[in-house]
Amino acid sequence: MPDSLLVLAPLRIERLALGDPAGSSVLRTGMGPDRARIAAARALAHGAPALAVAGLCAGVDPSLRAGDVLCASELVGEDGARTAVPGSPLLAAALRRRGLRVHVGALASTTRMLGPAERRERAGSALAVDMESAWLAAGAAGRPLAVVRVVADAAGRSLADPRMTIAGPRALRSLRRTSGALAEWAAAVGPRTLLLAGPRSFCAGVERAIDIVELVLAQRGAPVYVRKQIVHNEHVVNDLEARGAVFVDELDAVPDGATVVFSAHGVSPAVRADAASRRLGVIDATCPLVSKVHAEARRFATEGRTIFLIGHEAHEEVEGTRGEAADAICVVEDVEAAARVEADDPERVGYLTQTTLAVDETDEIVARLRERFPALRGPASEDICYATSNRQNAVRAVARESDVVLVAGSESSSNSKRLVEVARREGARAYLVDDETDVDVAWLAGATTVGITAGASAPERIVHRLVAALAALGPVDVEERTQTVESLRFRLPRELTTA
């Protein structure tokens, strides 16, 4: 059996620094483009399913220091032609997990060594330069390709600089540390099937909330203040921040008279009263399904019931709902808590739930409450929203066929974390990832079927990026597995649609 990876290292000192990455063959190619072309032809005949180029380079970008690692996302030839290296995100993440300072960007290959002044002329077109990678990459011939170069001489320095006596050994030590990441990357190479759970990504409430912030920015201009994260996703928040949204934890950070948007998770009556007293221009992006839970809390409180609110104590949605009837509500986080809670009148009790919980776990909690309180009343209709239920059903079906499930979503997203739990209960190894840079290639070794979904607050573009990152490891067969089609849309606030 051939090794899983062929590593091409131009110089003997680079080859020695790399050692022998597990499952790999290391070929010393020689220095410069002519030897690189010969080595590329030899690589074509090698049976390894993946190819890597590894060695030293010279910095162009001033941010690169000696010992920094460049994981090339594209190669720039002497003629200016650019070749994409799509496997960079997963390998860069593996390198960072080893404590290396990693950059991802363009690497230019030249026919001769360039001095500091000549490298400065390349600024903006590449982060670093070498003399082989663009030609060696031809040896991949469609196989997964990785290009890892470690900075030996930083921008502004030459090989004759006395400081190279320190920089050179530092670069070689970093190069040696790349070996394990290359081995992990190679072990993940191979064909696989990708099962895309459907529905996934944005629900109607999230789409409405994001649309509201975008419309307020368009109609009223920046800055627009948003209390808490509009939805629990770092990509969405960063995108809106770049366009002029200012996210604050509390209203005291909002100037008097300014416009403030309430997040999709809802707020308590006390927050609304505070906004009114300060004459803030409020735009309410609370999801209508969360507003429904608030109305139910008020109704149960009016009936004199003790309300068991099933959810996570610190979640913003729970905080807002609890504010509707603080004296009547008792938060119940799990089955153990359900076994301990008490009520002044066991005949006048009710329960409500956070909208983003795992359905099966919530059913267990409700069943325990019913055992203890037979008169327990529930909401008129299910509080766990349709989107949460649909995404859990979809990931459950995909997980049964998958070795690994990747859930796109931020750590702050309750519904995304529940998808991970649901997938694990079906026997799959499941992981929450903000995007492809969070994927550990070690998870993928031996995984021939990977399920992919996204929480209700995660953009669909992250799913596309995950698919592209996995496709860089080998051929993929992408299958959509749609359980149901969602068509629900929520109306925007009247003050925005009439503007």
The percentage of residues in the chain with a pLDDT greater than 90, rounded to a whole number, is: 89
Q: What are the φ and ψ backbone dihedral angles of 374, each rounded to 5 degrees?
A: -60, -25
Q: For 12-47, write each residue's pLDDT tens digit.
A: 999 999 998 888 899 999 999 999 999 999 999 998
Is the per-residue pLDDT at 1 higher than 80? no
Confidence of residue 259 (pLDDT cuts 50, 70, 90): very high
pLDDT digits (tens, 9 = 90+) for 312-351: 999 999 999 999 999 999 999 999 999 999 999 999 999 9
Residue 375: CB partners within 8 Å, gap ≥ 6? Answer: 346, 347, 348, 349
pLDDT of residue 22: 84
Q: Region of 473 please: left (phi>0), alpha (psi -120 to 50) or beta.
A: alpha
Closest of 135, 283, 117, 270 to residue 212, by C-alpha: 283
Kindly report, residue by residue over 137-157, the tens digit of the pLDDT: 999 999 999 999 999 988 877
- Per cent of the chain over pLDDT 70 is 98
Whether 162 shows a pLDDT value over 70: the answer reads: no
CA gap 368, 364 in Å, rounded: 6
Residue 240 clears pLDDT 70, i.e. is over it:
yes
Distance CA 210, CA 236 (A): 8
Question: Which tens digits make up the pLDDT trace of 301-313?
Answer: 999 999 999 999 9
Pair of tokens at residue 240: 């809106």
Burial of 256 (0-12, 13-18, 19+ CB in 10 A): exposed
Number of C-beta neighbours around residue 403 at 10 A? 19
Q: How far is CA 283 from CA 50, 235, 249, 251, in A?
A: 53, 22, 16, 13
Mark 348-387 as b/e (b = at least 16 C-beta within 10 Å): bbbbbbbbbbbbebbeebbebbeeebeebbbbeeebbbbb
Tokens representing 374 are 């037979």
How confident is the model at residue 151, as a pLDDT? 96
- Please check the confidence at residue 76 and state whether its pLDDT lies above 60: yes
- Split at pLDDT 50, 70, 90, the class of 226 is very high
What is the value of pTM for the model shown? 0.92
| pLDDT average, residue stretch 261-288 | 96
Rounded to an integer, the average pLDDT of 481-491 is 94
- Indicate the average pLDDT of the chain: 94
Q: What pLDDT was estimated at residue 163?
A: 60
pLDDT digits (tens, 9 = 90+) for 365-403: 999 999 999 999 999 888 889 999 999 999 999 999 999
The predicted-structure confidence for 93-111, as pLDDT tens digits, reads as follows 999 999 999 999 999 999 9
- Work out the average pLDDT over 220-244: 96
Which residue among the candidates 132, 184, 316, 317 is catalytic per the annotation?
Answer: 317
Give pLDDT tens digits for 427-436.
Answer: 999 999 999 9
**CB atoms < 10 A from the CB of 165, how many?**
8
Our answer to whether residue 317 is catalytic in this structure is: yes
- How many Å apart are CA 348 and CA 179, to the nearest integer? 65
Read off the tokens for 400.
């049964």
Please give the domain boundaries of the chain with CATH numbers for all domains.
Answer: 5-188 (3.40.50.1580), 192-200+387-482 (3.40.1010.20), 204-287+490-497 (3.40.50.11270), 289-372 (3.40.1010.20)
